[in-house]
Structure 1
Amino acid sequence: MARLISLVIGAGFVFVLALALFFTAKDAIQNPAAETAEHEFHEHPRDAHLSSAGLVGKFDRAQLQRGLKVFQEVCAACHSLKYVSFRDFEHLGYSEGQVKALAQAWPIEQPTVNEETGEAATRKNVPSDRVPSPYPNEVAARAANNNALPPDLSLMTKARHDGGNYVYSLLTGYRAQPAALLAKFPDAKTPPGLHYNPYFPNLNLAMPAPLTSDGQVTFDDGTKSTVDQMAKDVAAFLTWTAEPNLESRHAAGVAAIIFLVIFVFLTWGAYQNVWRNVKH
């Protein structure tokens, strides 16, 4: 009896789910969602061809150093890297002394308290410090950016789909709204204070284009600093901040694949050896 009741309850549950699926599909067919500007004009990120991409990708240390300089001179005015310490930059090829000098020359100093007066103060950065935010708190950050909060960029390329390519595309994607968009969606005009960018999910974002002209940053290695080059370099740098162990992870993955291939051949050989005298 208990088994019969269980079957009836289970059948009823399946029937209700089937009805829900049917009516949901029917409603979606009869009343399709209205087309939106975001759906039609949003573009997928372009390929930045970063050296870290792919199954065996590796970081280009020279590119990471250039990306750090772009972040330092352009992005650090609004964004922080709260999960990155200055001493982590030694992994980019800098010596201990260079990291110390870099920390002290950073445009944003560390917040502290004056021991004599108890008032807020700042001090030079040291290698053990995290890369500081340019704002003391979220309220100050919003007040300085038309109520938009500049996000921390430490993990940005992990937080966005196709992160490195997304950052590169976003930084080079600012443009005027296409006439076709305004003709089809006249209410989708970019509001005052926002900026059109087809790589941003809702097409409009508060951040103005940070990379505005070639030569905005001077690279130490002599690389020509075009807008496209600066965008690629800072995208590569933010890929590193989000996953500094990417190279070792790739190496471990390749080693695991090689081991599995060898193990398969050894297993096949053992099988052939054990069963070689057995007639089928």
Structure 2
Amino acid sequence: MVRPLGFLVGLGFIAALVMAILTTPLGNEPNASKAFHKEPRKLALASDGIAPHWDIAQLQRGMQVYKEVCSACHSLKLVAFRDIQAFGYTEGQVKSFAKGFQVPSINPDTGEPATRDGLSSDYFPSPYANDVAAAAANGNAIPPDLSLITKAREGGKNYIYSLLTGYQNPPANMPKELHPGPGLHFNPYFPNLNLAMAQPLQNDQVTYADGTKATVDQMASDVTAFLVWTAEPKLVKRVQVGWAVLLYLLGFTALTFLSYRTIWANKEH
């Protein structure tokens, strides 16, 4: 009696599993939000391709956009001020740049939390004391750290660039339930269409030192290039080393083959 009962119970579990599989919507099944979602637009950068290089002028502009716009909400906790010497800045310029930031410290006289001018050895500070303060200032949405953002988001640099330039009014034919609620903003490149971050870039928002026109597209391209660098500052060097290793292996293979032919040239088979 136990065996037939166990068989029936097992059969019931199998039937329930099959029904669950048949009635669960597939992941690629179209829905209302996907109909209005757009794939990221491609952004071409000097760091792309098989022979990448850093556009130093663009990285400098991108860092300026981060400092004057993005740093108000987003941290860059994995990047030290001294790292920007890679952009051609002198040690004195780096010190001056770091001094423009206030970093957390401790008052030596009272032991209380305090702030001080940044040093070259410091890392880009967070604009908020902790996640609770960040959420309170941004409608319960915590702004992500941008150090590795082009690696952390699907679509990488193309997604970041498209998001920054993609703010617009909702399409007229979009269902009302998909329209952004209070404190949200429509952007077709964001996965669920509406995000808490308001449009961060406006034309002429910064004044570039090299005289470049600060359009939204230009600033988005520049800051994206900068964030590609923060996520992988050794990218160009890594590719160069990779090509050197490949050439070495090809040369070694050719020498090995020639040595084989020379050694066995007069040997009987």
CA shift for structure 1 position 247: 1.1
- Pick aligned residue for 1:119 from 69, 88, 112: 112
CA contact (8 A) 1:56 1:254 kept: no
CA distance in 2, matches of 1:42, 1:260: 46
- Pick aligned residue for 2:248 from 259, 263, 267: 259
Return structure 1 stretches of 4+ with deviation > 3 angstroms. 22-26, 30-34, 263-280
1:168-207: CA deviation from partner (whole Å, max 9, x where unpaired): 111001111122333xxx4222222111111112111100
CA distance in 1, matches of 2:256, 2:170: 61
Give yes or no for the alignment of 1:82 onto 2:77. yes
1:14 maps to none
Give ranges in structure 2 of 5+ residues lacking alignment: 1-13
CA distance in 1, matches of 2:254, 2:154: 37
CA distance in 2, matches of 1:269, 1:80: 56
What is the SS of the residue equivalent to 1:111?
Answer: strand
CA distance in 2, matches of 1:25, 1:103: 57
1:70 maps to 65
- Pick aligned residue for 2:49 from 50, 54, 58: 54
CA distance in 2, matches of 1:161, 1:260: 33
CA shift for structure 1 position 42: 2.2
Code of the aligned partner of 1:147: N
CA distance in 1, matches of 2:238, 2:216: 31
TM-score (norm 1): 0.82
1:163 maps to 156
Shift of the 65–274 alpha-carbon distance from structure 1 to 2, 3 Å rule, reads: same
More moved, 203-212 vs 156-165: 156-165
Code of the aligned partner of 1:232: S
Give yes or no for the alignment of 1:216 onto 2:211. no
CA contact (8 A) 1:190 1:204 kept: yes
1:217-258: CA deviation from partner (whole Å, max 9, x where unpaired): 111111111111110000000111111111110101111222
CA shift for structure 1 position 271: 4.7
2:36 maps to 41
| Superposition RMSD in Å | 2.6
CA distance in 2, matches of 1:237, 1:31: 40
Give yes or no for the alignment of 1:227 onto 2:222. no
Code of the aligned partner of 1:245: K
- Pick aligned residue for 1:95 from 64, 79, 90: 90
What is the SS of the residue equivalent to 2:174?
Answer: helix
CA distance in 1, matches of 2:174, 2:249: 52
More moved, 109-118 vs 266-275: 266-275
Give ranges in structure 1 of 5+ residues lacking alignment: 1-18
What is the SS of the residue equivalent to 2:99?
Answer: helix
Paired residue total: 254
CA contact (8 A) 1:171 1:209 kept: yes
Shift of the 27–269 alpha-carbon distance from structure 1 to 2, 3 Å rule, reads: farther
Q: Percent identity?
A: 54
CA contact (8 A) 1:155 1:238 kept: yes
2:193 maps to 203
CA shift for structure 1 position 266: 3.3
Give yes or no for the alignment of 1:179 onto 2:156. no
CA shift for structure 1 position 35: 2.6
CA distance in 2, matches of 1:161, 1:32: 20
CA distance in 2, matches of 1:235, 1:163: 9
CA distance in 1, matches of 2:18, 2:93: 65
CA shift for structure 1 position 25: 11
TM-score (norm 2): 0.85
